Chains A and B, each alone.
Chain A
Amino acid sequence: MPKRTDIDSILIIGAGPIVIGQACEFDYSGAQACKALKEEGYRVILVNSNPATIMTDPETADAVYIEPVDWTALEQVIAKEKPDALLPTMGGQTGLNCALDLVREGVLQKYDVEMIGASREAIDMAEDRELFRKAMGEIGLETAQAEIAHSIEEAIEKQAEVGYPTIIRPSFTLGGTGGGIAYNQEEFRRIVTHGLEMSPTTEILLEESVIGWKEFEMEVVRDKNDNCIIVCSIENLDPMGVHTGDSITVAPAQTLTDKEYQRMRNASIDVLRKIGVETGGSNVQFAINPEDGRLIIVEMNPRVSRSSALASKATGFPIAKIAAKLAVGYTLDELKNEITGGQTPASFEPSIDYVVTKIPRFTFEKFPGAVDRLTTQMKSVGEVMAIGRNFQESLQKALRGLETGVTGLDEMMPAAVDEEEKVRLRQELRLPGPDRLFFVADAMRQGFTIDEIFTLSGIDPWFLVQIADLVREENSIREGGLNELEADRLRLLKRKGFSDARIATLTSRKESEIRKRRIEADIRPVFKRVDTCAAEFATTTAYMYSTYEEECEAMPTDKEKIMILGGGPNRIGQGIEFDYCCVHAALALREAGYETIMVNCNPETVSTDYDTSDRLYFESLTFEDVMEVIEVEKPKGVIVQYGGQTPLKLARELQAAGAPIIGTSPDSIDLAEDRERFQKLVHDLDLKQPPNQVARSTEEAIAMGATVGYPLVVRPSYVLGGRAMEIVHGDDDLAAYMEAAIDVSNDSPVLLDRFLDRAIEVDVDAICDGEQVFIGGIMEHIEQAGVHSGDSGCSIPPFSLGSELQEILIEQVGKLAEGLKVVGLMNTQFAIQNDVVYLLEVNPRASRTVPFVSKATGVPLAKIAARVMVGESLKQQGFVKQRIPPYFSVKEAVFPFLKFPGADPILGPEMKSTGEVMGVGRSFGEAYAKAQLASGVVLPTSGTALISVRNRDKNRAVELANILLERGFAIVATEGTAKFLSEAGVECRCAKKVLEGRPHIVDMIKNREISLIVNTTEGKQAIRESESIRGEAVRTNVTYYTTLDAAIESCKALEHLGNAEVNCLQDLHKEVAV
Chain B
Amino acid sequence: MSTPAVLALQDGTIFRGVSVGAEGKTIGEVVFNTAMTGYQEILTDPSYCRQIVTLTYPHIGNTGTNSDDMESSRIHASGLVIRDSSMIASSWRSEQTLSEFLIAGNLVAIAEIDTRKLTRILREKGAMSGCIMTGNINVEMAIEHANKFPGIGGMDLAKFVTTKQPYQWSQGNNFGESSRILSRRIAPYHVVVYDYGIKRTILQMLSDLDCRMTVVPATMSASEVMELAPDGIFLSNGPGDPEPCDYAIAAIEEILESEVPVFGICLGHQLLALAAGGKTEKMKFGHHGANHPVQDLGNGRVLITSQRITASRWMQTHCPPMFR
* A and B from one complex: yes
Identify the A interface with B (CB < 8 A).
140, 225-230, 252-259, 261-263, 290-293, 295, 331-333, 345, 347-355, 389-391, 460-462, 465-466, 469, 528, 533-538, 549-551
* Number of B residues with CB within 8 Å of any CB on chain A: 50
- Beta-carbon nearest neighbor of A463 in chain B: B90
Task: Name A228's closest neighbour in chain B (CB-CB).
Answer: B304
Whether the Cβ atoms of A351 and B290 lie closer than 8 Å is: yes
What is the CA–CA distance of A258 and B59 in the complex, to the nearest angstrom? 14
Residues in A neighbouring B301, C-beta threshold 8 A: 225-227
Name which of B33-41, B160-168, B242-250 contacts chain A. B33-41
Within 8 A of A (CB), among B70-103: 83-84, 86-88, 90-93
Which of A252, A259, A293, A333 sits near B36, CB closer than 8 Å?
A252
**Is B58 a contact of A354 with CB atoms below 8 Å?**
yes
Q: Which of B59, B176, B304 contacts A263 (CB 8 A)?
A: B176
Please indicate the chain B residues that have their CB under 8 angstroms from the CB of A256 in the complex: 37, 63
B125 CB-CB contact with A under 8 Å: no
Say whether B217 faces chain A, with CB atoms less than 8 Å apart. Answer: no
With both chains docked as a complex, state the minimum distance between the C-beta of B231 and any C-beta of chain A, in angstroms. 27
Q: What 1/0 mask marks residues of chain B from 25 to 38 whose CB sits below 8 Å from any chain A CB? A: 00000001011111
How close is A226's CB to chain B, nearest CB, in angstroms?
A: 7
Chain A contacts for B83, CB-based, 8 A: 353, 389-390
User: Is there a chain A Cβ closer than 8 Å to B315's Cβ?
Assistant: no
Taking CB atoms and an 8 Å cut-off, the chain B residues in 207-226 that contact chain A are none
B175: which A residues are within 8 A, CB to CB? Answer: 259, 263
CB nearest neighbor in B for A492: B112
Bound complex: CA A569 to CA B35 (Å): 31
10 new A-B contacts, CB < 8 A, other than A225-B300, A228-B304, are A227-B301, A348-B292, A351-B36, A351-B291, A390-B59, A390-B83, A462-B62, A535-B116, A550-B117, A551-B114
Residues of B contacting A391 in the complex (Cβ-Cβ under 8 angstroms):
59
- Given the known A-B contacts A258-B37, A535-B120, A551-B117, are A351 and B58 also in contact in the complex, defined by CB atoms under 8 Å? no
User: B304 contacts A351, CB within 8 Å?
Assistant: no
B115 sits at the interface (CB 8 A): yes
Pick the contact of A347 from B57, B290, B293 — CB < 8 Å? B293
What's the minimum C-beta distance from B145 to chain A, rounded to whole angstroms? Answer: 22
CA distance A331 to B299 in the complex (A): 13
Q: Is the CB–CB distance between B92 and A333 below 8 Å? A: no
Q: Separation in Å of the A320 CB from the closest CB of chain B? A: 20
Point out the residue from B15, B119, B302 that lies within 8 Å of A534, measured CB to CB. B119
The answer, among A230, A333, A551, for a CB contact under 8 Å with B302, is A333
CB <8 Å contact, A549 and B69: no
- Nearest CB of chain A from residue B284's CB, rounded to whole Å: 12
Which residue of the partner chain B has the closest CB to A288?
B92
Write the chain B residue with the least CB distance to A230.
B304
Chain A residue nearest to B300 in the complex (CB)? A225
Q: Is B56 an interface residue, CB under 8 A from the partner? A: yes
Contact residues of A: prevailing secondary structure: loop
A-B contact pairs, 23 of them (CB 8 A): A225-B300, A230-B304, A252-B36, A252-B57, A253-B37, A257-B38, A258-B37, A259-B69, A291-B92, A292-B92, A348-B292, A348-B293, A349-B292, A351-B289, A352-B36, A355-B58, A390-B83, A465-B87, A536-B32, A536-B289, A550-B113, A550-B117, A551-B117
Q: Tell whether, in the assembled complex, residue A353 and residue B90 are in contact, meaning their CB atoms are under 8 Å apart.
A: no
**Do B56 and A534 touch (CB < 8 A)?**
yes
Task: Give the CA-CA distance A345 to B303 in the complex, in Å.
Answer: 13
- Among residues of A, the one whose C-beta sits closest to the C-beta of B64 is A257
Contacts A350-B291, A549-B117 given: A469-B87 contact, CB under 8 Å? Answer: yes
Known interface pairs A227-B301, A390-B83; A536-B119 also in contact (CB < 8 Å): yes
Closest CB of chain A to B177's CB: distance in Å?
8
Q: Would A332 and B116 be within 8 Å (CB), given that A261-B37, A348-B292, A355-B59 are in contact?
A: no
CB distance A258 to B38 under 8 Å? yes
Q: Is B295 an interface residue (CB 8 A)?
A: yes
Residues of B within 8 A of A550 (CB): 15, 113-114, 117
CA distance A150 to B190 in the complex (A): 56
Interface residues of B in 1-48 (CB under 8 A from A): 15, 32, 34-38, 40-41
Distance A263 CA – B176 CA, assembled complex (angstroms): 7
Query: A253–B40 Cα gap in the complex (Å)?
Result: 17
Interface residues of B in 288-318 (CB under 8 A from A): 289-293, 295, 300-304
- In the assembled complex, how far is the CB of residue A1008 from the closest CB belonging to chain B, in whole angstroms? 51
The answer to whether A528 touches B92, judged by C-beta atoms less than 8 angstroms apart, is no
Q: Which residue of A lies closest to B115 (CB)?
A: A353
Contacts of B293 in A (CB 8 A): 227, 229, 332-333, 345, 347-349
- Nearest opposing residue in chain B for A460, CB measure: B90
A534 to B118, CA, bound (A): 11
**Known A-B contacts A227-B301, A332-B302, A351-B291; A536 and B34 likewise in contact (beta carbons under 8 Å):** yes
Is B123 at the interface (CB under 8 A from chain A)? Answer: yes
A354 to B90, CA, bound (A): 19
Are A389 and B87 also in contact (CB < 8 A) when A257-B37, A257-B69, A535-B120 are? no
Contact residues of B with A, CB < 8 Å?
A: 15, 32, 34-38, 40-41, 56-59, 62-63, 66, 68-69, 83-84, 86-88, 90-93, 113-117, 119-120, 123-124, 175-177, 289-293, 295, 300-304
Neighbouring A residues of B291 by C-beta, 8 Å: 348-351, 533
Q: Which residue of B lies closest to A295 (CB)?
A: B176
Would B92 and A293 count as touching, CB distance under 8 A?
A: yes
Chain B residues within an 8 Å CB radius of A389: 58, 83-84, 116
Q: How far is the CB of A458 from chain B (nearest CB, A)?
A: 13
Question: From A350, which residue of chain B is reached at the shortest CB distance?
Answer: B291
Q: From residue A542, how far is it (CB to closest CB) to chain B in Å?
A: 16
Chain A contacts of B34 at CB under 8 A?
351, 353, 533-536
Q: Which residue of A lies closest to B57 (CB)?
A: A353
In the assembled complex, the Cα of A63 lies from the Cα of B40 at a distance in Å of: 55
Minimal Cβ-Cβ distance residue in B for A261: B37
Chain A residues whose C-beta falls within 8 Å of the C-beta of B124 in the assembled complex: 538
Cα distance, A193 to B316, chains bound together (Å):
67
What's the Cα separation between A1061 and B114 when bound, in Å?
A: 61
Contact of B117 with A461 in the complex, beta carbons under 8 Å: no
**Contact call A347/B302, Cβ cutoff below 8 A:** yes
Interface centre among B83, B114, B123 (most CB of A within 10 A): B114
A351-B34, A462-B90 known; A257-B120 Cβ under 8 A: no
Question: In the assembled complex, how far is the CB of residue A639 from the closest CB belonging to chain B, in whole angstroms?
Answer: 31
Q: Are A352 and B57 in contact (CB-based, < 8 A)? A: yes
B289 x A254 contact (CB < 8 A): no
Q: Do A536 and B123 touch across chains, with their CB atoms under 8 A apart?
A: yes
Q: A730 CA to B59 CA in the complex, in Å?
A: 60
Contact indicator B88/A461 (Cβ below 8 Å)? yes
Cβ A255 vs Cβ B91 within 8 A: yes
> In the docked arrangement, what's the CA distance between A955 and B214, Å?
96
Once the chains are docked, how many angstroms separate the CA of A295 from the CA of B92? 13
CB pair A255–B56 under 8 Å, yes or no, is no
Closest CB-CB distance, B200 to chain A, in whole Å?
12
Closest 4 CB pairs of A and B: A258-B38, A349-B291, A551-B117, A462-B90
A354 contacts across to B, CB distance below 8 A: 58
The residue of chain B having its C-beta at the shortest distance from the C-beta of A251 within the complex is B36
A537's nearest neighbour on chain B, judged by CB, is: B123
Known contacts A257-B69, A551-B120; A227 and B114 CB within 8 A of each other: no
B62, B86, B289, B291: most-surrounded residue (chain A CB, <10 A):
B291
Contact of B58 among A230, A345, A349, A353 (CB under 8 A): A353
Beta-carbon nearest neighbor of B177 in chain A: A140
Say whether B295 contacts A351, CB under 8 Å.
no
- Of B66, B92, B113, B115, which is within 8 A of A290 by CB? B92
Min CB distance, A420 to chain B, in Å? Answer: 32
> Across the interface, which residues of A come within 8 angstroms of B176, CB to CB?
259, 263, 295
* Measured CA separation A263–B69 after assembly (Å): 14
Contacts of A352 in B (CB 8 A): 36, 57
Q: How near does chain B come to A958, taking the closest CB pair, in angstroms?
A: 69
Do the beta carbons of B58 and A549 come within 8 Å of each other? no
B56 and A353 contact, CB distance less than 8 A:
yes
The smallest C-beta distance from B256 to any residue of chain A, in angstroms, reads 31
Whole-angstrom CA separation of A252 from B58 in the bound complex: 11
B209 to chain A, nearest CB (A): 15
